Every structure is written in structure tokens, then in C-alpha cells.
Chain A
Amino acid sequence: MSFTAPLLLLLAIMRTPLFVVIAASAMLGFYSEEIDLSVISIEIYRLAEMPVLLAIPLFTFAGYMLGEGHASQRLVNLTHSLLGWLPGGLAIVTIIACALFTAFTGASGVTIVALGALLYPALKEAGYGENFNLGLLTSSGSLGLLFAPALPLILYGVVAQQMDLDQPVSIDQLFIAGALPGLLMLFMLSIYSMLQPRTENLELEKRRPDAWLSIKQARWELPLPILVLGGIYSGYFAVSEAASVTALYVLVVEVLLLREIKIRQLPGIIRESMTLVGGIMIILGVSLASTNYLIDTEVPTRLFDFIREHIQSKLTFLILLNIFLLILGMMLDIFSALVIIVPIILPIAVGYGIHPVHLGIIFLANMQLGYFTPPPSV
């Protein structure tokens, strides 16, 4: 068995689809335990036993719809008209608009595509330096991952719930836990942006859109965050219910009321968004199998014992964990890191007395930072 792990790792970094690498490792494991390999399919079928997963296709679809219409333009106008007067206003507009958009679309790639094209020229015009603009846009693309109803939070909850921990991990708790650290990041980045040097462009101030007008233009999208965030944080909606309300609402608004998306565009949008969903969920499916194998063979427990011998204090562990996750975030995208790494480190962290919800936020925050740290960031 000892030679297979490096081999699989090599395959993984040579562009083998990740779900194949995970499935292969699970199959090798089960094969060596002489367990019938139909167990893989049985584990994948557990995707049909978790009600919360419904949120993944529905939120992703809604996010793609918002990215396709002119919602991003209206969001920028709105934040610009309300916050544009601040020093460094446009940079802050970028940060807030991107964070909101990412929370709803789930994947930072969508944000960069939908908002980057709008904001990049605007930032340039406002007199910011080239490097700052690019940096701000790419990092803003992943801000918002800690806010409800971002997909990575949901996915972390799903993975953690599979682990049979003593402390229950509810996705609602994760949403609450993510809010403060997320706001802190927005705040810090805003302060930094305010301090950025730039050449004044007074012309721009005059062109700030009228607040009332932009509110009016965004009247259909405005209720959405209130509906979803209010619904989830007040406990009125379960996550999957919030997702279905969002999907239906966005569909009705974009196609029937605003008519920005034609019916004939829908098949393309559905295919694109569900391709992403399929890519994420097939990894989740096979990782249910590999996680099961890991738990059966007590790999996390043994790892914990090993690490325990060298690191005694919880604080040292946390610091090392942060460094490890930061490096990991540079190499893996958030979704794959979630399903591959969380099952291994979560039991170890719990062993050190770290609450699973706490770990989740640490994990995602680090992934987010690692995401915009080179080398191979998207």
C-alpha cells in the first residue's frame, strides 16, 4: 500500500480529475479490506439522503442567473450612490459589491467575471494604480465566502455532519459564526483602500449615480438579500428552503419581470451552472466513500496521536494549522480542499478542543486568503 499514496498524489497534481483520485484511493482502501467495491456506489447514493444538498444546485443556478443579467451593474450603481462619497469610495464600493455578489453566487470566479469588467475601468478612472486595481478585484472576488448563503459554508456543514462528532454542526451556526470574521476582513480591506494613494479625479464625483434612482432600478433585487438573510438568520427558512425561494425569485424577476434573460438563454445557463454543480458534487459523493474508509481505519485518530506527541498546546496547533491551510489554499480550490482535507483535520482539531464551527471559519478564511496568494491562483 505504501507506494500507492505518492502515486495517487502524483496523478493528482498532473491534472487527473480530483474525483477520480479520491475514488481510486477509496477503492484501493476498500479492496485491501476485502470489501465489495459496490460500496462506492452505495456511498455516492448518500448524496440522495441529505436534504440540505438541495441548496447547492439552486443557489448555484440563482447565482449564474444574477451573473448573466444586469444585476451586477445595478449593484455597483447602488453601492456607488450610497457609499461613493467616502474617501476611497469606489474601492469600498468594489469590496462591498463583490462580497455581496460572492455570497450569493458562491463561486468567486463568477464575481470576477460579472463585476470585474464593470469595476476595473471605473477604478482606473478613479485614479488608482494598476496593481492595486487588479489585486483588489481578485481578492474581492473571494470576499463574501464567509457570509450566508455562500456555498463553501454549506459544503463545510455537510462534510462536518458526516463525521459523527459529539458536537453537532448546524449550518445556521456556521452562518452566524462567519458574519463577524467576514465583516472584519471587509473592514480591514476598506481601511487599506482608503489609505491608498490615487490621483484625484473630480469629474467622477459629479457622475455619482443618484441614490433614489439606483434604489429604484434595483427594486427587484433589493428584497432578495433581506428575504434570504432575514429568513435564514431568523430561523424562518431552512437553508434549502431559502435556496428554492431564491431560485424561483431570481427566475421570475430576471425572465418575466425585467426580461433581461430570454427563455432561450435558460438552457445554456442551466447547463453551465449544473456542470459546476456536478463537478463539485461528484467529488463530494466519492469523498463520502473515502471519508468512510478513513474513519473505519481510524486514520484521523492515529494522526492525532502522532501530532499530539509533538505539539501539546492548542495554540501552537492552531498557529501551525493556519500556516498549513494557507499553503493548502494556494494549491487547492476551496471546494476540493473542503471535501478532501476537512475529514482528516476536523477530528484532529476536535481532539485539541476546537469547536467544529470554529474550525470551519478558520478553514474557509485561510482558503480565502490562500486563494489570492500566488502561485497558481486562478
Chain B
Amino acid sequence: MKSLNRSIHLLEDSLLITLLVSMILLSSGQIILRNFFDIGFIWIDPLLRVLVLWTALIGATVASRENKHIRIDLISRLFSRRIHLFIQIFIGLFTSSVCTIIAWYGAQWVLQDYQQQLTGFSGLPSWILEVIIPLAFGLIAIRYLLHSLCWLGMFIRFDEGNNCAL
């Protein structure tokens, strides 16, 4: 379990690095090619846009490792740590369920595009470009489920400890 977790982290991190470096090289390479050599490749722009989507979603899964998503914190200070922890358990489960639903319906959409053999730019199958959406939301759902379990454990043990980083 630990090593699976570590491999997923490694995969996410290396994907992020690859994606960002490719975006920088492709986009600046395109500017150089166009301005100095008058050459352009039509696949660069659509590819760059898909890379942005992938970067965004993988960045979002990484943010869910440590529950670092943007949120409003107005009233948690009113509660004791213990009540706060109790609420967090439910918030985690809610987050997990919402992401599961998105992932589930997203997977059906991707599957449909796969069966209909739709193609995106340069003849690439659409499903390959889209598949990150159900994958990312699925992973976020799993992570928040684990966060909730961890918070539940802390609640039962009267543990006032720190975060449940995955």
C-alpha cells in the first residue's frame, strides 16, 4: 500500500515536470520557428491546450494529497478542534462522493467517444485526450475518502495531531 502510494506520487510528479517542460519548450519553440524560420506546425497549438488541461488536473490531484484545495474558512474558528475534526470527516466524504459522480459520468463519456472512435487533432483518438478527467477525479475521490478515514481515526483516538497528508 505504501509503495503503491509512493509510485503514484512519483508518477504525478514526473508527469507534472514533463508536462510543464514540454509546454515551455513547445510554446517558445513555436515562437522561434515562426519568427525566424517562418515554419509552423498546426498540431502544436491544440497539443499545448490539452497539456494545459492535463497539468491543471494533475496539479489538482497533487493538491488533494494534503487537502490543499482552495476553500473558504469562515466559521471553523468558532468550534473546538474536536468538533472541527468531526465536521471534516463529513466534508471529506462529501468531496469524495461529488468527485466519484464526476468521474463515473466522465468515464461513460470517454467510453462513448472510444466506442465511436472519435478523433481529436492530428487524428489522435479523443478518448486519450479526455481520459485524464475521470482519472483525476477518481484519484481525488479516493484521496478524500482516505483523508476522511484518517480523520475518523484521529477522532476516535482523541488524537489532536496534525494533518492526514497522503
Most buried by B among A42, A44, A271, A278: A278
Q: Determine whether the beta carbon of B95 is less than 8 Å from that of A17.
A: yes
Q: Determine whether the beta carbon of B108 is less than 8 Å from that of A282.
A: no
**Interface residues of B: mostly helix, strand, loop or mixed?**
helix
Nearest 8 CB-CB pairings of A with B? A278-B59, A41-B106, A281-B56, A244-B27, A17-B69, A278-B60, A38-B109, A48-B53
Q: Determine whether the beta carbon of B101 is less than 8 Å from that of A15.
A: no
When C-beta atoms are compared, the residue in chain B nearest to A248 turns out to be B28
Q: Determine whether the beta carbon of B27 is less than 8 Å from that of A58.
A: yes
Could you show 22 A-B contacts with beta carbons less than 8 Å apart?
A15-B91, A16-B91, A27-B98, A37-B105, A38-B105, A41-B106, A41-B110, A44-B133, A47-B53, A48-B129, A51-B48, A54-B49, A57-B59, A247-B28, A248-B25, A275-B62, A279-B63, A279-B70, A282-B56, A282-B60, A376-B73, A376-B74
A:253-282 near B, CB below 8 Å: 266-267, 270-271, 274-282
**Interface residues of A: mostly helix, strand, loop or mixed?**
helix
Proximity bits, A320-332, B CB within 8 Å = 1, else 0: 0000000000011
Q: Determine whether the beta carbon of A38 is less than 8 Å from that of B87.
A: no
Q: Determine whether the beta carbon of A14 is less than 8 Å from that of B50.
A: no
CB distance from A248 to the nearest CB of B (A): 4
Q: Name B's A-contacting residues (CB within 8 A).
A: 13, 16-17, 20, 23-25, 27-28, 31, 45, 48-50, 52-53, 55-63, 67-76, 87-88, 91, 94-95, 98-99, 101-102, 105-106, 108-110, 129-130, 133-134
Residues of B within 8 A of A247 (CB): 24, 28
Task: Say which one of A18-26, A215-223, A352-360 lies at the interface with B.
Answer: A18-26
Most buried by B among A24, A275, A276: A275
Residue of A27, A270, A278 near B61 (CB, 8 A) is A278
Assembled-state Cα–Cα distance A316/B94 (Å): 41
Residues of A within 8 A of B50 (CB): 48
Residues of A within 8 A of B129 (CB): 48
Residues of A within 8 A of B67 (CB): 17
Judge if A156 is at the interface, Cβ distance under 8 Å: no
Q: Determine whether the beta carbon of A278 is less than 8 Å from that of B56.
A: yes
Assembled-state Cα–Cα distance A361/B94 (Å): 36
